């Protein structure tokens, strides 16, 4: 469905996409598709792009024909930005967004401490970028429209879904009538009020917190630094909390705690919103309201994310409160985990049981997010006097004592889950020091390729990567071309990536197609590398095995395990 779409040449908030009658509607019998994705938000787009750009045909259904309204998710974490890089839209998202890594916490009228989320340099992407969700969707769509095997169908509302042994039957309603289609697999990415979930008679369970928050997107010129500011019990909003974030286009996001008794409809009235904003900014700073919404804290998830041939991702599978930026980030990470596993299963290179690990790995991640979100909510909104006294004492102590700062919780910010217990991992048999253990996301580092600076993660594609560290003077056993071919035989081609310690070593390895230079030595330190150290990396850039030396049989066994083939 390749078509021209320039996200920077349109008015994103007023852009609508035309309904187009699909060939399925004129077919005498339902057309079968390998994968159907429901929902064209950031999560659904990420799943669809990931599958399509790696060769799997995808149909993407959405009941609307426009981008999201209002800023919604705005904080996109380093890991999510790295995923966007692999999907082909990371640069545009970072260039448009507001880069930040520091924040301040205030108690009443005084700052109590500041924090730095990325104190160590040497990563391509920053800790966070603030960007309105509609921009993120636009850049993802721009990439999606470039892919011929991705069929996006606007104004296609799913009205029925029936599972069979080898496919899912889907009823769809359009402006030009209804039709039925079939899918080998369905990825349900249709949000917190998931129609797919309702049609299958499933539910999401958890906890609704008795509090409400107001979001106000305001447009103004301000000299405030690009930081996350969080106030507890400020004089301009006594007894409650307030959060401030900068967005592009001179738009600022303000979250005001309202209390459970607040009337959501009344609180959205500009006559009530404007005085709250003026209390924060003062009467002399002009601003205009861009978007207003009221939300309730919710921490919920489905019992399982795989139900037969339907797999749930993002808010359709789990929901958390906004503080901590764990919603959209975890959803995009769901998408990355799901896409490569679906591809292997669709192509007959892995058994269906591989999809069970999507469920187990992302349920683990969801539980981490729910736990952190629940703790944040309990700290931000104490439910009794004892909890309030504890919180206020903690904030007072945090002015001077580091131990108290670790207890302050204004929203533990999103980090990727470490899948240390995954059945796809091969456990260590040698001693390693450092963070790149099986289950962890592979850390980035600056490297050189062809005399130009680049980044390590950028040299890993949509397939499994065998990364081997070479030593000086040819030290360290490297795989042969035949061994690499045999490693991926029957599954998929495995990419060999050799990391050389210097240019001279790289030149001696010129017969190997893919060699990068660890010019500053940072990659070697982050992977605790010695000559011959070998890492097997999944398509989602999680480490699944590491060895002190390359051995064909061990590497093959690790690949079989990582694809549920052994």
The encoded tokens of residue 54 equal: 């790696």
3-state secondary structure of 191: coil
Q: What are the tens digits of pLDDT across the range 325-352?
A: 888 999 999 999 999 999 999 999 999 9
pLDDT band per the 50, 70, 90 thresholds, residue 202: very high
Contact 466, 495 (CB under 8 A): yes
Whether 375 has a pLDDT exceeding 90, the answer reads: no
How much is the average pLDDT of 198-204?
96
Q: What are the tens digits of pLDDT across the range 113-134?
A: 999 999 999 999 999 999 999 9
Instruction: With residue 328 as reference, give the H or E element that holds it.
Output: helix 327-346
pLDDT band per the 50, 70, 90 thresholds, residue 286: very high
Cα separation of 198 and 77, whole Å? 31
Cα separation of 329 and 127, whole Å? 12
**CB neighbour burial string for 6-24, b if at least 16 within 10 angstroms, e if fewer:** ebeeeebbeeebeeeebeb
How much is the average pLDDT of 36-42?
97
Q: Cite the DSSP H helix spans in 105-185.
A: 133-144
Contact 241, 377 (CB under 8 A): no
Contact 100, 131 (CB under 8 A): no
Q: Is 249 left (phi over 0), alpha (psi -120 to 50) or beta?
A: left
Q: What are the tens digits of pLDDT across the range 482-503?
A: 999 999 999 999 999 999 999 9
Nearest to 426 by CA among 541, 538, 335: 538
Contact 364, 421 (CB under 8 A): yes
DSSP 396: H
Q: What are the tens digits of pLDDT across the range 131-154?
A: 999 999 999 999 999 999 999 999
For residue 334, how far is the Cα from the chain centroid?
A: 7
Q: What are the tens digits of pLDDT across the range 513-556?
A: 999 999 899 999 999 999 999 999 999 999 999 999 999 999 99
Q: What is the dihedral of CA 149, 150, 152, 157, to 10 degrees?
A: 100
More confident residue, 374 or 330: 330
| 465-469/495-500 β-pairing | parallel
Nearest to 138 by CA among 204, 222, 68: 68
Which pLDDT value is given to residue 557?
97
**pLDDT exceeding 90 applies to what percent of the chain?**
83
The encoded tokens of residue 406 equal: 């670790």
Q: What is the mean pLDDT of the chain?
A: 94
3-state secondary structure of 487: helix
pLDDT band per the 50, 70, 90 thresholds, residue 474: low
What lies within 8 Å, CB to CB, of 2 at 6+ separation is 145, 146, 147, 148
The encoded tokens of residue 361 equal: 């790995």
The encoded tokens of residue 516 equal: 């990068």
Contact 510, 390 (CB under 8 A): no
CA distances from 388 to 55, 516, 536 (A): 54, 54, 48
Which pLDDT value is given to residue 3?
67
Cα separation of 136 and 369, whole Å? 22
Which pLDDT value is given to residue 260?
87
DSSP 316: G
Q: Is the dihedral of CA 19, 34, 5, 247 positive or negative?
A: positive
How much is the average pLDDT of 37-58?
98
Q: What are phi and psi for residue 344, nearest 5 degrees?
A: -65, -40
More confident residue, 376 or 563: 563
Whether 2 has a pLDDT exceeding 60, the answer reads: no
Cα separation of 248 and 253, whole Å? 10
Cα separation of 252 and 227, whole Å? 11
Q: Kindly report the pTM of this predicted structure.
A: 0.95
Q: What are phi and psi for residue 452, nearest 5 degrees?
A: -115, 145
**pLDDT exceeding 70 applies to what percent of the chain?**
99
Cα separation of 320 and 301, whole Å? 9
Q: How many CB atoms lie within 10 A of CB 79?
A: 20
The encoded tokens of residue 206 equal: 């958890």
Which pLDDT value is given to residue 566?
80
Q: Which residue has the tokens 């929203």?
A: 411
Q: What are phi and psi for residue 538, nearest 5 degrees?
A: -70, 165
Whether 1 has a pLDDT exceeding 60, the answer reads: no
What lies within 8 Å, CB to CB, of 239 at 6+ separation is 233
HEC per residue, 294-306:
EEEEEEEEECCCE
pLDDT band per the 50, 70, 90 thresholds, residue 410: confident
First-to-last alpha carbon distance for the chain, in angstroms, is 37
DSSP 227: S
What lies within 8 Å, CB to CB, of 174 at 6+ separation is 19, 21, 25, 153, 155, 156, 157
Cα separation of 97 and 563, whole Å? 36
Cα separation of 11 and 26, whole Å? 34
Contact 189, 38 (CB under 8 A): yes
Helices then strands, counting H and E runs in the chain, come out as: 15, 26
Percentages helix, strand, coil for the chain, rounded to the nearest 5? 30, 25, 40
DSSP 172-192: EEETTEEEEEEEEEEEE---T
């Amino acid at each position: 469905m390749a078509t021209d779409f320039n996200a920077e040449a349109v008015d994103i908030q007023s852009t609508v996409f035309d309904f187009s009658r699909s060939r399925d509607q004129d077919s005498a019998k339902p057309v079968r598709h390998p994968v159907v994705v429901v929902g064209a938000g950031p999560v659904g787009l990420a799943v669809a792009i990931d599958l399509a750009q790696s060769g799997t045909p995808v149909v993407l259904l959405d009941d609307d024909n426009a981008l999201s309204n209002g800023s919604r998710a705005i904080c996109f974490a380093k890991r999510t930005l790295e995923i966007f890089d692999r999907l082909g839209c990371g640069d545009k998202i970072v260039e448009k967004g507001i880069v930040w890594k520091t924040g301040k916490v205030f108690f009443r009228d005084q700052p109590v401490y500041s924090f730095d989320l990325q104190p160590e340099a040497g990563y391509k992407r920053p800790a966070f970028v603030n960007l309105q969700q509609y921009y993120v969707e636009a850049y993802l769509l721009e990439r999606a429209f470039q892919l011929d095997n991705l069929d996006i169908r606007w104004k296609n509302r799913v009205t029925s879904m029936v599972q069979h042994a080898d496919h899912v039957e889907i009823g769809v309603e359009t402006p030009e009538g209804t039709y039925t289609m079939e899918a080998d697999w369905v990825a349900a990415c249709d949000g917190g009020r998931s129609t797919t979930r309702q049609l299958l008679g499933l539910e999401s369970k958890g906890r609704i917190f008795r509090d409400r928050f107001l979001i106000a997107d305001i447009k103004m010129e301000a000299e405030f630094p690009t930081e996350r500011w969080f106030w507890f019990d400020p004089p301009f909003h006594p007894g409650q909390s307030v959060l401030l974030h900068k967005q592009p286009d001179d738009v600022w996001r303000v979250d005001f705690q309202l209390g459970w008794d607040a009337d959501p409809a009344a609180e959205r009235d500009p006559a009530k919103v404007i005085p709250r904003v003026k209390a924060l900014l003062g009467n002399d700073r002009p601003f205009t309201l861009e978007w207003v919404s009221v939300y309730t804290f919710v921490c919920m998830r489905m019992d399982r994310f795989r139900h037969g041939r339907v797999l749930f991702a993002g808010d359709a599978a789990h929901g958390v409160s906004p503080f901590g930026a764990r919603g959209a980030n975890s959803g995009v990470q769901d998408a990355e985990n799901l896409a490569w596993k679906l591809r292997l299963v669709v192509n007959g290179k892995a058994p269906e049981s591989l999809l069970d690990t999507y469920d187990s790995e992302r349920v683990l991640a969801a539980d981490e997010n729910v736990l952190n979100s629940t703790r944040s909510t309990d700290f931000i909104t104490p439910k009794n006097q004892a909890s309030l006294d504890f919180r206020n004492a903690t904030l007072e102590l945090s002015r001077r004592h580091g131990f108290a700062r670790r207890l302050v919780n204004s929203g533990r910010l999103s980090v990727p889950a470490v899948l240390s217990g995954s059945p796809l991992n091969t456990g260590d048999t040698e001693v390693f020091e450092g963070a790149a253990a099986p289950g962890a996301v592979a850390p980035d580092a600056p490297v050189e390729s062809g005399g130009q600076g680049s980044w390590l993660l950028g040299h890993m594609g949509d397939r499994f990567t065998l990364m081997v560290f070479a030593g000086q003077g040819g030290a360290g056993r490297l795989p042969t071309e035949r061994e690499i071919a045999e490693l991926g035989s029957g599954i998929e081609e495995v990419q060999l990536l050799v990391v050389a310690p210097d240019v001279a070593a790289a030149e001696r390895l010129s017969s190997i197609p893919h060699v990068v230079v660890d010019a500053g030595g940072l990659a070697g330190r982050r992977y605790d590398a010695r000559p011959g150290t070998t890492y097997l990396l999944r398509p989602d850039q999680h480490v699944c095995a590491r060895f002190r030396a390359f051995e064909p049989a061990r590497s093959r066994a690790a690949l079989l395990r990582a694809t549920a083939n052994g």
